[in-house]
Chains A and B, each alone.
Chain A
Amino acid sequence: SQTIHQWPATLVQPVGSPLSLECTVEGTSNPNLYWYRQAAGRGLQLLFYSVGIGQISSEVPQNLSASRPQDRQFILSSKKLLLSDSGFYLCAWARLGLAGQQYFGPGTRLTVT
């Protein structure tokens, strides 16, 4: 069976500090990978998605970046956090193709102080 992991589960960081959130998927290969952010009172916002190693598409211009160094690893980064980066970050995976379900990880709660 497939599982998706995210860490850390919670994070408190000061403004201007760097960020690295990691997501890994087990039990499948060549997944599509996604990073979402869920801010209080707002819906899920797609930040990045990837269809393969080194292939990243950005949905929202901002101070965040994503990388996919391995097939089942997806990393969300920032060089300098802003207060507005606070939120709940969710990683998801789906099988290749248009018909597949998306499966979500447990999320990381980020608070920028």
Chain B
Amino acid sequence: KQEVTQIPAALSVPEGENLVLNCSFTDSAIYNLQWFRQDPGKGLTSLLLIQSSQREQTSGRLNASLDKSSGRSTLYIAASQPGDSATYLCAVKGANSKLTFGKGITLSVRP
């Protein structure tokens, strides 16, 4: 059974800092990995999707990497801003087409 872990559960950083959010998964037989952002009381917004054949994806200040063999992904946020404060979730898609989610990392960027 696939398990996705995101540690730590919460993170607080000063504005302007570059930061890395980690995600690990137990079964490397995945089709893709997605990073989402969730604001309090809101739905999930897809940030980046990495197919299993890819190593990284970039969008603006965000860069996500995938090391399928070691079961790890990172989300790099450059020059963090208070508006980046949210919960970030990673999810992996297995052969059954279902997503398995981590519990998320709640990020707070202090002005």
- Contact, CB under 8 Å: B95 / A98: yes
- Contact, CB under 8 Å: A102 / B102: no
In the complex, B44 has a CB within 8 A of chain A? yes
Q: Closest chain A residue to B48 by CB distance?
A: A101
In the complex, B28 has a CB within 8 A of chain A? no
Tell me, rounded to whole Å, the shortest Cβ–Cβ distance linking A36 to chain B: 8
Of A59, A88, A92, A98, which is within 8 A of B31 by CB? Answer: A98
Of A90, A101, A105, which is within 8 A of B34 by CB? Answer: A101
Residues 7 to 48 of chain B near chain A (Cβ within 8 Å): 31-32, 34, 36, 41-46
- Provided the pairs A43-B103, A99-B32, A99-B51 are in contact, do residues A106 and B43 lie with their beta carbons within 8 angstroms? yes
Residues 85 to 111 of chain B near chain A (Cβ within 8 Å): 89, 91, 93, 95, 97-99, 101-104
- Provided the pairs A43-B101, A43-B103, A46-B99 are in contact, do residues A98 and B44 lie with their beta carbons within 8 angstroms? no
Tell me, rounded to whole Å, the shortest Cβ–Cβ distance linking B17 to chain A: 26
> Size class of B's contact patch?
20 to 34
- Contact, CB under 8 Å: B46 / A103: yes
In the complex, B77 has a CB within 8 A of chain A? no
- Provided the pairs A44-B89, A105-B43 are in contact, do residues A99 and B31 lie with their beta carbons within 8 angstroms? yes
Cα distance A103–B103 in the bound complex, in angstroms: 18
Interface size on A, residues (CB 8 A): 23
In the complex, B75 has a CB within 8 A of chain A? no
Of B34, B51, B91, B98, which is within 8 A of A49 by CB? Answer: B98
Chain B residues with CB below 8 A from A90, complex form: 43-44
In the complex, B66 has a CB within 8 A of chain A? no
Cα distance A6–B44 in the bound complex, in angstroms: 13
Cα distance A44–B44 in the bound complex, in angstroms: 11
Chain A to chain B: the 8 pairs with minimum beta-carbon distance, closest first:
A104-B44, A44-B101, A43-B103, A104-B43, A106-B43, A98-B31, A107-B43, A43-B101
